[in-house]
């Protein structure tokens, strides 16, 4: 039981730091409600699963090559800049407390997936964190146990994203539209900064 809680807590700690996904989930929750935020988070979790599989199967080094990383930086930067600018430019009058003008759920899912999957730091992150967990446990436990503990890590990530989705959607009904606009534009600015950083890193390959 202690080991299960340990790996769930590890997943929580991995998801907690402020980054583009957390900013986007908060943005969606405040603007459109729980389901939009949660579906976006599920898209990012799918990307995490893919990267974990890459690490587990030992092909992460291929994704970590300079040319692949450059593509991830450039395309990931584009996705983040686009999402960030959209959040910054959205007018206060467009923040409605109903879901009729919300984007389609599959679009939120794809946005979350692309933001996470095209983030080159994800593979470095999972290679370093999950790689170390895998290295320390693969010789101690059976394959089924390692997979189970991996699912515990993902459960921790999902619990964090679910909590953020609920809180952001809950507070949207308690705060003014001006505050929602401020938070949305602030998170959009954060996404824009991440996008510019990723784009700059990608351009460095050609210089």
SS3 11: helix
**33 — alpha (psi -120 to 50), left (phi > 0) or beta?**
left
Q: Which residue is listed with tokens 């991996």?
A: 150
The mean pLDDT of 185-192, rounded to a whole number, is 80
pLDDT value at 102 more than 80: no
pLDDT in tens, 162-182: 998 998 888 877 766 677 677
pLDDT in tens, 52-100: 888 888 765 666 677 777 877 788 788 778 878 877 776 554 444 555 5
The mean pLDDT of 17-26, rounded to a whole number, is 78
Phi, psi of 206 (to 5 degrees): -95, -5
Closest CA to 34 of 137, 149, 173: 173
SS3 37: helix
Q: Would you state the pLDDT for residue 8?
A: 87
Q: b/e per residue, 35-73, with b = 16+ CB within 10 A?
A: bbbbbbbbbbbebbebbbebbbeeebeebeeeeebbebb
pLDDT value at 158 more than 90: yes
Which pTM was predicted? 0.74
Helices 143-171 and 34-57 cross at an angle (nearest 10°) of: 160
Mean pLDDT of the chain: 79
Half-sphere exposure (Cβ direction) of 105: Cα atoms closer than 13 Å: 8
pLDDT value at 103 more than 70: yes
More confident residue, 65 or 161: 161
């Amino acid at each position: 039981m202690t080991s299960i809680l340990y790996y769930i807590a590890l997943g929580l700690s991995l998801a907690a730091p402020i980054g583009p996904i957390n900013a986007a989930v908060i943005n969606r929750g405040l603007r459109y409600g729980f389901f939009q935020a949660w579906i976006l988070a599920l898209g990012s979790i799918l990307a995490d699963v893919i990267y974990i599989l890459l690490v587990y199967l030992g092909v992460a080094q291929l994704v970590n090559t300079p040319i692949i990383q450059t593509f991830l930086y450039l395309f990931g930067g584009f996705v983040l800049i686009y999402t960030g600018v959209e959040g910054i430019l959205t007018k206060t009058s467009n923040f409605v407390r109903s879901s009729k003008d919300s984007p389609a759920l599959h679009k939120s899912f794809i946005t979350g997936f692309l933001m996470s999957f095209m983030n080159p730091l994800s593979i470095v992150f999972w290679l370093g964190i999950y790689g170390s967990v895998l290295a320390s446990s693969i010789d101690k436990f059976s394959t089924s146990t390692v997979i189970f503990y991996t699912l515990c890590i993902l459960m921790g990530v999902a619990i964090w994203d679910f909590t953020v989705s609920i809180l952001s959607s809950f507070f949207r009904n308690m705060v003014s539209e001006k505050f929602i606009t401020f938070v949305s534009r602030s998170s959009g600015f954060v996404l824009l900064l991440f996008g510019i950083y990723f784009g700059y890193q990608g351009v460095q390959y050609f210089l």
